[in-house]
Amino acid sequence: MIHIQNLTYIHPNQDVLFDNIHLTLNRHDKAALIGNNGTGKSTLLRIIAGVLPPSGGVARVEATPYYVPQLFGQYNGLTVAQALRVEEPLQALKEILAGNVTEENLTLLNDDWTIEERCQEALQYWQLDELDLTQPMALLSGGQKTKVFLAGISIHQPELVLLDEPSNHLDVAGRQLLYDSVRNSTSTLLVVSHDRTLLNELDTVLELSKQGVTVYGGNYDFFQEQKRIESQALNEDVHSREKALRKAREVARETAERQQKLDARGRKKQEKAGVPTIMMNTLRNNAEKSTSRLKNVHAEKVGTIAQELHELRKELPDVDKMRFGFDHSTLHRGKVLVTAEGINHRYSEQPLWQQELSFQIMSGERIALKGLNGSGKTTLIRIILGGLEPTLGTILRAESKAVYIDQDYSLIHNGLSVYEQAQQFNYLSLQEHEVKIRLNRFLFSKDEWDKLCSALSGGERMRLMLCCLTISSQAPDLIILDEPTNNLDIQNIEILTAAINEYQGTLLVVSHDRSFLEQVRIERVLELK
């Protein structure tokens, strides 16, 4: 179905994105294409879709791909029917049924007499029953645009489907429809996604990295287990090399000390024996050369082991390199932070929620805030934080320190450098080198300290945000995360998960990512209707 050989893509600025890629996907395979941000997953998908030409090599596809892109802005000037490429056959069918049976209309319809029914059924499946096919794409939400293109799979029934982050804008109900659709599909699927629930519906994982494409014959859970085994072996190698390096340095030090004592003892014997000065100098020079040779031998051995250790550490996953070190909240577990009684909010005289909300948030709890798109999750967050008051009911907030982190990590100021941003949270007046040590812990090397925050990727913004929280004087009592995984690749989701699991305060999470909610140990759900 897909045969790729020696594929290369070079950016217009001459940077090589990937080189010498080999990949084969057979008919009816359902494969996930994963990899860190910047490895070229979306670019590879666009090359397979025929949207982008490769710089070299061969990408042969045996069927016309149906491609669902990650971004839909290029379709804003089209109607839904035009975006789905059904406008002409639908119009031709309408003309024919009205009695205008021309050669042109028959050609446009191409014997597709069920096109209208398939459109209706597909839109109904994706909960778009009320959508008018003549409606402009520009008026649709991100989730609706995604559903329109997913509906196109049922309409066109392609042999090969390429999906680029299809669950990004979908709510819980939409994601479930996607999982069911993928599970029941008979098409060949190639999916780029960080949605681990979706990835577990696929039977092969293709990992794209600088080394090429590595194939793992199983779903994402199987892939993770294999990576865990690889990581464990790598960590054992690192610890073994660290031990060998300590031993080599110790042997070098002991050898040097022993040689110094032998040299000193030899000089004393020579002085007592009355050895002539010229002979003493010769013997001393020979001893120094011997000591130097011995020192060089040990230095070379230490250097070799140190270089091996450096290379091994570079292969460690980023999450294993990082050190979080969050301070704990000062509030005792169980303290009531928020009490809401019968609250609601009105927009244009219409209540936002079907029924008034009553709830408490206790210190130390881990809560998921759920609801369909447009159910008022962001409004409730603003009410909890005190930025908005309910128009009905009462809300009491205990004095506490809260941090709101949205999916764009907007607490990061684009006009500041990485180092300047870290200093914004330096309430304890840490020394410059201490702040830079923290930045290094979060994988910001000295080459990136002067980099503008506006140039950071989603994953980098997330890591800088976590770093800032560790630099501040005290961890927040409450962290609110609003769709924190939307712009992150899998590796950065793992970093975020590890950090959140080390945090001991109160957590309120808005997320459609079922795996993330499970892994950060959510205890209860607050659902909006």
Q: What's the pLDDT tens digit per position in 89-148?
A: 888 888 888 888 888 888 888 888 988 899 999 999 999 988 888 999 988 888 889 999
pLDDT more than 70, % of the chain: 87
What pLDDT does 365 receive?
93
Of the two residues 185 and 319, the one the predictor is more confident about is: 185
Q: Give Cα 437 distance to the centre of its chain.
A: 24
Of the chain, the end-to-end C-alpha distance in Å amounts to 44
Q: In this model, does residue 367 exceed pLDDT 90?
A: yes
Neighbours of 170 (CB within 10 A): 23
Is residue 330 pLDDT above 70, yes or no?
no
What predicted TM-score, i.e. pTM, was given to this entire model?
Answer: 0.67
pLDDT at 202 (0 to 100): 95
**In the prediction, which pLDDT does 47 show?**
93
Residue 324 has pLDDT above 70, yes or no: no
Confidence (pLDDT) at 286: 59
- Name the token pair of 126: 């994706």
| Residues in Cβ contact with 245 at an 8 Å cutoff, skipping those fewer than 6 apart | 302, 305, 306, 309
Joined together, the tokens standing for residue 118 give: 């398939």
Report pLDDT for 200.
Answer: 93
Rounded distance between C-alpha atoms, residue 116 and residue 21, angstroms: 41
- Is residue 371 a contact partner of residue 450, using CB atoms and an 8 Å limit? no
* Cα–Cα separations (whole angstroms), residue 41 to 50, 182, 252, 452: 14, 19, 48, 25
Q: Which amino acid, 66?
A: Y
- What is the mean predicted confidence (pLDDT) over 471-493? 82
Return the bridge partners of 299, or none: none
Among candidate residues 398, 349, 340, 394, the one with its CA nearest the CA of residue 369:
340
DSSP 404-459: EE-TT-TTS-TTSBHHHHHHTT-TT---HHHHHHHHHHTT--GGGTTSBGGG--HH
